[in-house]
Amino acid sequence: MSALLEVENLSVYYGVIQALKGISFHVDKGEVVALIGANGAGKTTTLHTLSGLISADKGDIIYKGQNLRKIANHKIVSLGMAQVPEGRRVFAEMTVLQNLKMGAYTRRDKAEIEETLQMIYKRFPRLEERKSQLAGTLSGGEQQMLAMGRALMSHPDIILMDEPSMGLSPIFVNEIFKIIQDVNKDGVTVLLVEQNAKKALSIANRAYVLETGSIVKEGPASELLNDESIKKAYLGE
């Protein structure tokens, strides 16, 4: 199967510090791929580089056959790549509905946008109930749903998710992971960065382990879940 996203020898520096040391990985169409690792391993840097928020110093990011390093970051969304940022980053002073509509800014067909909106309300009934409410007044879990809904409004082929369970209660964590699985079943490919390695590995097809800017392990998620060194380092076992 040809990869939807192929990252080759990606290097990123912050001044003299090398945050990513020539990493290579791929995500195939229809997969959930997890990137796990400790704080500061380079997981968020990886996602930000893919979506054009950070410039790579070396390497290639091939998405649907195009090199994203040659494309302006505001155009990347229109190619079908959406990101759910760490810490949700909803527009607190705007309503839920306004936030969702911001996610569709690259789309022109009003009827299709409305159709996607109804689909998102079906998936997140709570967002429909609170559509006139200011996003800043939602709970953490609801804001996470809103961030996911906003990303889905762009009708992406791949969604980059950065720490979706961070700061959420266990009930919401389960709900968010269930939604990620449902979104994937509907045909959206997922690249998931997640501190909760156990949860991430339990829903992913494959995973990569990042340590201080290098990929040190990769394989089927079910194998990594049972790997003794991974259990010790990331699963608290």
pLDDT digits (tens, 9 = 90+) for 183-212: 999 999 999 999 889 999 999 999 999 999
**214 pLDDT more than 90:** yes
pLDDT in tens, 67-126: 998 888 778 888 999 989 887 789 989 999 999 999 888 788 889 989 999 999 999 999
Q: List the end-to-end C-alpha distance of the chain, in Å, as a whole number.
A: 35
Q: What is the average pLDDT across 216-226?
A: 94
Question: pTM (2 decimals)?
Answer: 0.91
What pLDDT is stored for residue 1 in this prediction? Answer: 54
Taking the CA atoms of residue 180, residue 63, residue 25 and residue 203 in that order, the dihedral angle to the nearest 10 degrees is: 10
CATH number of domain containing 211: 3.40.50.300
Question: How many Cβ atoms are within 10 Å of 175's Cβ, its own excluded?
Answer: 18
pLDDT in tens, 166-190: 888 888 899 889 999 999 999 999 9
CA–CA–CA angle 160, 163, 164 (5° rounding): 80
Q: What is the average pLDDT across 5-34?
A: 95
Which helix (DSSP H) or strand (DSSP E) does residue 14 occupy?
A: strand 3-14
Is 168 in contact with 87 (CB distance < 8 Å)?
Answer: no
| The total number of structural domains that make up the chain | 1
State the residue range of the domain holding 20: 3-234
Q: What is the average pLDDT across 13-41?
A: 94
